[in-house]
Amino acid sequence: MQPNLNKVCKQVGLLAKQTGGFLQRQQGKIKSSHVLTKSMNSFVTYVDKESEKRLVKGLKKILPGSGFITEEETVVNKREKYTWVIDPLDGTTNFIHGVPCYCISIGLMLSDGTNNEIILGVIYEPNLDELFYAIKGKGAFMNGKKIAVSGAKKLSHSLLVTGFPTYDLKKMKQYLNLFSYFMKNTRGLRRMGSAAVDLAYTACGRFDSFYEYSLNPWDVAAGSLLVKEAGGKVCDFKGGNNFLFGKEIIASNATVHGDMLKSIKKHFK
């Protein structure tokens, strides 16, 4: 029996806001001794881990028997029919340095043994107190108001957002060439430091398109559903659907998406 997703979404939103309050209370308390390096330019703090523990504990109560895919692995990562895909603090580097742009991202994935589909997504950005959420087939919302992707009709009229690869640098030449192309052919690019925020902002029309490679499922699970439910399109760099586990994603409004895909295919052959 499928859970009541409306009820689940409300409960997850409340949990995200409560946990976001914990993040805010810890802001400014981080010392260099609290920061562990997982890999080059990839950091974790006690705040990431405690946030994840709180989320896992709450989500187990909301949907008993569900599985988890989490960034910090404070719980055994195991897939079930319903699996939570969690980033407890997306934008850790921003958080460490006091930059007010980070969030909690929670996606619910439905698996049938062959296919994986995100059916619910919640992103909470505590600095602006913005709660983004979506249920498959029911639209996307922010703080109770329905949101939609932008109406930009041309790439030349678009504001893009991206992220910089931190450890997979094999495609750096292609990435920089693409970056240069977009600098010359769009209204500009931004780098917020949180892929989940980038997707949420694309869903509500602040950005016209987002692209990035070297991502993990917890970075994009919730946000990809938000963009789709807000009327946008999401794919991998080849135009396929392997953006959840394929480590690359394009998310745009429906009008400029084709030009985005064409440009990225040209540079990432």
| 32 has a pLDDT exceeding 70 | no
Is-above-0.85 flag for pTM?
A: yes
How would residue 37 be classed by pLDDT, with cut points 50, 70 and 90?
A: low
Count CB-CB contacts under 10 A for residue 247: 19
**What's the pLDDT score for residue 162?**
97
Position 31 confidence tier, pLDDT thresholds 50, 70, 90:
low
Q: Chain-wide mean pLDDT for the chain?
A: 93
pLDDT reading at 40 higher than 50: no
Specify the higher pLDDT residue, 206 or 269.
206
Q: What is the pLDDT of residue 72?
A: 84
CB hemisphere CA count around 53 (13 angstroms): 8
Model confidence at 28: pLDDT above 80: no
Q: Report, as an integer, the average pLDDT of 218-245.
A: 97
- 96 vs 180: CA distance, rounded Å: 29
Compute the distance between CA of residue 28 and CA of residue 183 in angstroms, rounded to an integer.
Answer: 34
Buried/exposed code over 185-212 (b: 16+ C-beta within 10 A; e: otherwise): ebeebeebbbbbbbbbbbbbbbbbbbbb
**pLDDT confidence of residue 47:** 87
Between 105 and 45, the higher pLDDT residue: 105
Tens digits of residue pLDDT in 131-181: 999 999 999 999 999 999 999 999 999 999 999 887 777 888 999 999 999
User: What is the 8-class DSSP label of residue 57?
Assistant: H
CA dihedral 53, 57, 63, 69 (to 10 degrees): 20
Structural domains of the chain sorted by starting position, each given as residue range(s) with its CATH number in brackets: 5-146 (3.30.540.10), 155-267 (3.40.190.80)
Among 27-36, 38-47, 91-100, 126-135, the range scoring the smallest mean pLDDT is: 38-47
Q: In what order do the strands lie in the sheet with 130-135?
A: 67-70, 82-90, 103-111, 116-125, 130-135, 140-142, 145-146
pLDDT at 259: 98
Number of alpha carbons in the 13 Å side-chain half-sphere of residue 42? 12
User: Which amino acid, one-letter code, is at 204?
Assistant: C
- Report pLDDT for 172: 87
Q: Burial of 233 by CB count in 10 Å (0-12 exposed, 13-18 middle, 19+ buried)? A: buried
